[in-house]
Amino acid sequence: MKITTIILSLVLAFYGNAQDITLKFEIKMQGIAQEMAAFAEMQGVNYFKNEKCRVELENMMFSMRTYIHSDGVTVCQSVMDEKKYYKRKKQDFEAERSKSTDIPKITYTEESKMILGYECKKVLVHTLAKDKTEIQTELWVTKALKLPDTYYMMSSRNSAAFNGIDGTVLYMETPLRMQGNNAVSIMRVTEVITTPLKDSLFEPETNGYTESTYEEIKSQMRSMGGGMR
C-alpha cells in the first residue's frame, strides 16, 4: 500500500483555535486478495493540541510516529525491527508544494449523515493519476471538530489533493490500482476523544532509533513497494 495513500487518509483540517482532540482510525483495503489485504490494513491515532500534532500508524510489518510542529516534523519509523528517524523542516514542504501542478476539483454535496455523533457532509475530490485517468475520492467531513492547520501545512501531497476542504475528515474512500487490480482504500475514524492532552505527548521520542534522512528512508520504502514520496 502506498505511503502517499496512508498520508492522504489521515485527518485533514484547516482551522485555528483548536481543541485538544484524539482521533483513532483504521485503514482497510477492498478488492484484493485476503492475504494482501491483511498486510495492508493499518491502525492509527492522531493527537492534536494547539499547533502540535502527533500521528501514529502501524500494521503487521511497520510502525511510524510523526511529530508535527510549526517549524517541521520528526518521523520515527520501525520496519522489521529496524528503527530509524529523520527530521524535515517546514521549508522542505513549502518547496515541494511550490512544484505541485495537481489542482483538484472539489465538489460539495448536500448529502449528510451522522458519524460518531457528528454531522458530516459528503465531499468529492477529483484528482488525476499518473496515467491521467481521473480518481474520485469520497470524503465525509464534519465542521464540528476544530483542528490545527499544522498537519496540512506539513504535507505537500495533502496541499495538492485537499486544499480548500472545509472541515475534518471522518471517513475517506479512495480507488487504487494494486498489482494490476482495482482496489479501494477505506479510512474510517473509529473514536473521537476530546479530553486534555499533555504537552509531553508531542515531544519526539528518538531513544533507540538511528538518525537517518528522508531520502534514505524514501528509497528504502520504495524498494519494499511502499511508494513513499
Which is nearest to 54 in space by CA: 154, 164, 146? 154
What ranges in the chain are assigned the alpha helix state H?
Answer: 3-9, 34-40, 90-99, 150-153, 156-162, 214-223
* 17 found inside a domain: yes
Task: Please give the backbone phi and psi of residue 167, each rounded to the nearest 5 degrees, phi first.
Answer: 140, -175
What CA–CA distance (Å, rounded) separates 12 from 157?
12
CATH number at residue 24: 2.50.20.10
Per-residue pLDDT tens for 175-191? Answer: 987 777 789 999 999 99
* 48 found inside a domain: yes
* 228 found inside a domain: no
Domain around 162: 3-223
* 202 found inside a domain: yes
pLDDT at 9 over 50: no
Give the side-chain half-sphere CA count within 13 A for 173.
Answer: 8
Of 116-130, 196-210, 213-227, highest mean pLDDT: 196-210
Tell me what percent of the residues of the chain surpass a pLDDT of 70. Answer: 79
Per-residue DSSP letters for 126-154? EEE-TTS-EEEEEEEEESSS---SHHHHT
* 229 found inside a domain: no
Total structural domains in the chain? Answer: 1
* 64 found inside a domain: yes
Band of pLDDT at residue 151, cut at 50, 70 and 90: low
Task: Tell me if 57 sits within 8 A of 42, measured CB to CB.
Answer: yes
